[in-house]
């Protein structure tokens, strides 16, 4: 059997690593992959944006299953292209991936089917948007509707700040992603990320996780792609996940199917646990990064089978993985300066023998330079500790995160120890 993982970050390293464990004797490719994925998959020098070349590669190699890591190729229609050529692929078609690529689409769909979410409205006209602000109490949240690499969400402490955010977004700061603006109520409560595998009808949950998006300890500083994550989240039981499945995932999937755009793949539901119950912040059409680096090591049961069945259009039938045992916690090692400008090409030292079944080092932004492992991105490595308790997983992750070295390494020592809250 031959598999292809599309992407080259920490999430894709975690996906390739999980697939390798589930398929010890098969062939796995990663496009473009990274120095970490090379231990489990053969790198293919094709960029994730080059959909035609990816399809040609999958056809020439007779790949049995292609798995997409990042959102951009999904939003660009890689699944539609593979479907046209009868190439098995796991992920939503472009129209269904609008759940992530258009916040306006997702919010309006939630309103149509009664999924709890922050009160909102969508605008293309700045005057109407500013008028709507008068109905809200600060803080308010202003979002570019399209994909903006996590940068298009602005939490505004005053209506004046919100007015400026609306004008910047509709004025073109995020290009095409800011053609529409979503203005919404601020939700207070802890955040939770719930992940499902879905064939468009059934949705099977993986373990729910919590990530830490802020750069600095104590959940302060600017938002990033994610500085660490952990799972399972203490206090979050299977009843809550079942509520999210029944009241969020299933109604959304039914509506997409009824519109003739069935959704298949991973579905990531980002929630705030408000005093009035869970409310949806956003959907993503892929696994989270760095959440995948804790969710996948905890996922028992073989993922190749359900993913292949879904890619072939056969459905999940009664697939259900065993509940996860233990805890996982990932600490991200970032380049000094991230999420703004940062240097690349700094040599990385990973102490010999540091990796084990309970300590995994996932590569995110690394490259080989002059024969030496070096930094090549904002988030450089994800260091996942696994343990019988969250504390044990955290200690293991932090000990290794401290021992791995590169100049100006930035990391948070408090992942999993602060209650992340948007309040
Ligand atoms: P999003 O890309 O929509 O998930 O937004 C990124 C982050 O902004 C979320 O993880 C939250 O921390 C925060 N955020 C977005 N929308 C809201 C909201 N309505 N209320 C509170 N926080 C929000
Ligand atoms: N860690 C958040 C995300 O992947 O969107």
Q: What percent of the chain has pLDDT over 90?
A: 81
Pocket test for ligand 2, best of 191, 224, 268 (most atoms within 8 A of CB): 268
Q: Cα of 290 to ligand 2 centre, how many Å?
A: 7
Q: Any residues with CB less than 8 A from the CB of 30 and at least 6 apart, and which?
A: 4, 5, 6, 7, 8, 12, 16, 37, 38, 41, 42, 43, 44
**Mean pLDDT over residues 118-142, rounded?**
87
Q: Is the pLDDT of residue 131 over 90?
A: no
pLDDT band at 423 (very low <50, low <70, confident <90, very high): very low
Distance 301 CA to ligand 1 centre (A): 32
**What's the chain's length in residues?**
423
Look up residue 38 and give its two tokens.
Answer: 């090379």
Phi, psi of 332 (to 5 degrees): -90, 130
Residue 422 scores a pLDDT above 60 = no
Q: Average of pLDDT values for 305-320?
A: 93
* Nearest residue by C-alpha to atom 4 in ligand 2: 288
Domains of the chain (ranges plus CATH)? Answer: 2-91 (3.40.50.20), 121-185 (3.30.1490.20), 190-311 (3.30.470.20), 327-403 (3.90.600.10)
Whole-angstrom CA distances from 31 to 34, 70, 239, 285 are 9, 12, 38, 19
Sheet holding 140-144: strands in order across?
120-123, 181-185, 140-144, 153-156
**183: helix, strand or coil:** strand
Residue 169 and residue 178 in contact, taking contact as beta carbons nearer than 8 Å? yes
Closest ligand relative to 187 C-alpha: 1
Q: Whose CA is nearest to atom 5 of ligand 2?
A: 288
pLDDT grade for 66, boundaries at 50, 70 and 90: very high
Tell me the mean pLDDT in the region 289-298: 98
Ligand nearest to the CA of 225: 2
Which atom belonging to ligand 2 lies closest to the Cα atom of 289?
4
323 vs 12, 16, 305, 330, CA distance in Å? 23, 21, 17, 20
* Ligand 1 pocket, residue 282 CB under 6 Å: yes
Determine the Cα–Cα distance for residues 56 and 47; give it in Å rounded to an integer. 13
Strand (E) or helix (H) holding 305: helix 304-311
- Write out the two tokens for 127: 């005057």
Note the helical H segments in 28-122: 51-60, 71-75, 78-84, 94-101, 103-113
DSSP 188: -
Q: Which residues of 77-94 are buried (b: 16+ CB within 10 A; e: fewer)?
A: bbbbbbeeeebbbbbbbb
Residue 214 Cα, ligand 1 centroid: separation in angstroms? 12
Q: Are 289 and 150 in contact, with CB atoms under 8 Å apart?
A: no
Query: pTM score, two decimals?
Result: 0.95
Q: Is the CB of 153 under 6 A from ligand 1?
A: yes
- Ligand 1 atom having least distance to the Cα of 186: 20
Determine the average pLDDT of the residues in 102-131.
Answer: 91
- Helices 159-170 + 126-133 axis angle, to 10: 160
Q: 288 CA to middle of ligand 2, Å? A: 4
């Amino acid at each position: 059997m031959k598999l292809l993982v599309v992407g080259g970050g920490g999430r894709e390293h975690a996906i390739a690593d999980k697939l390798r464990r589930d398929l010890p004797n098969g062939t796995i490719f990663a496009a473009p992959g990274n120095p970490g994925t090379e231990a489990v998959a053969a790198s293919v020098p094709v960029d994730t944006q080059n959909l035609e070349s990816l399809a040609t590669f999958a056809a020439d190699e007779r790949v049995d299953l292609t798995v997409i890591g990042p959102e951009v190729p999904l939003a660009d229609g890689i699944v539609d292209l593979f479907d046209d050529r009868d190439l098995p692929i796991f992920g939503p078609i472009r129209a269904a991936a609008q759940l992530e690529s258009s916040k306006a689409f997702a919010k309006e769909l939630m309103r149509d089917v009664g999924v709890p979410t922050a009160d909102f409205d969508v605008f293309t006209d700045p005057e109407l948007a500013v008028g709507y602000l008068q109905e809200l109490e600060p803080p308010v949240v202003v979002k570019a509707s399209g994909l903006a690499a996590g940068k298009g969400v602005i939490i505004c402490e005053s209506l004046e700040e919100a007015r400026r955010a609306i004008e910047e977004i509709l004025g073109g700061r995020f290009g095409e992603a800011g053609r529409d603006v979503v203005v919404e109520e601020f939700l207070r409560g802890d955040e939770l990320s719930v992940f499902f595998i879905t064939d468009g009808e059934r949705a099977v949950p993986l373990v729910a996780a919590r990530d830490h998006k802020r750069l600095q300890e104590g959940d302060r500083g600017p938002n990033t792609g994610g500085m660490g994550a952990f799972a399972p989240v203490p206090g979050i039981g299977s009843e809550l996940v079942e509520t999210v499945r029944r009241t969020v995932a299933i109604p959304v999937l039914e509506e997409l199917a009824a519109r003739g755009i069935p959704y298949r793949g991973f579905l990531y539901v980002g929630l705030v646990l408000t005093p009035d119950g869970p409310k949806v912040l956003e959907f993503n059409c892929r696994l989270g990064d760095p959440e995948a680096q804790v969710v996948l090591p905890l996922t028992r049961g073989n993922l190749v089978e359900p993913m292949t069945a879904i890619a072939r259009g056969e459905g999940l039938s009664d697939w259900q993985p065993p509940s996860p045992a233990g805890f996982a916690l990932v600490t991200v090692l970032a380049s000094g300066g991230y999420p703004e400008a940062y240097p690349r090409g700094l040599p990385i030292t990973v102490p010999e023998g540091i990796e084990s079944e309970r300590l995994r080092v996932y590569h995110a932004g690394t490259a080989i330079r002059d024969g030496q492992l070096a930094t090549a991105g904002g988030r450089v490595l994800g260091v996942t500790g696994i343990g019988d308790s969250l504390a044990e997983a955290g200690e293991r992750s932090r000990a290794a995160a401290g021992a791995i070295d590169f100049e100006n390494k930035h990391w948070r020592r408090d992942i999993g120890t602060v209650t992340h809250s948007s309040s």
